[in-house]
Amino acid sequence: MAADKPIYDLILLLDLGAEDSVRAKIVADARAAISADGELVGDQDWGTRTLAYEIDHRDQAEYHLLQFHGPASLIDGLEHTLRITDGVVRHRVIKLPPGSTAVAATPAPPAPTAEAPAPTAEAPPSEPVEADPALAGA
């Protein structure tokens, strides 16, 4: 029986001080490198999160998770490229234990359409509350 291909997690922490286009290019280049030599099986944008500790006077970063199959040469190439790329605060490639499954991509919430009004922060109407007579004389 052939062994299952291992799944790797690539976690990217990107500098919020970098332009949006630069951060998008870093993620796109990582996806392209993975697709060229391996197989991308999961892709999630975790958004902006607070770091556990400051790194180079930064307390927040943009997080991305890419899950993939690939050879050791792919991992070496990714680590080399990400190590020297401006805009990458930290990165880590982790080999998942055998039998692990990739997480599915999280879909973005649907944008409000012209037909359906956007949700508001108004409270729903409630029934009138009668005052407690025992508290009225207090």
Reported confidence tier of residue 101, pLDDT bands at 50, 70, 90: confident
With 60 as the cut, is the pLDDT of residue 36 above it? yes
d(CA 55, CA 121): 36
**pLDDT reported for residue 122:** 57
Report the predicted TM-score, pTM, of the whole model to 2 decimal places. Answer: 0.69
Non-local CB neighbours of 43 within 8 Å, separated by 6+ positions? 31, 64, 65, 66, 67, 105
Domain range 11-95, CATH class: alpha beta
With 50 as the cut, is the pLDDT of residue 11 above it? yes
* Residue 70 and residue 39 in contact, taking contact as beta carbons nearer than 8 Å: yes
Mean pLDDT of the chain: 82
With 90 as the cut, is the pLDDT of residue 50 above it? yes
**pLDDT reported for residue 108:** 46
* Residue 20 and residue 83 in contact, taking contact as beta carbons nearer than 8 Å: no
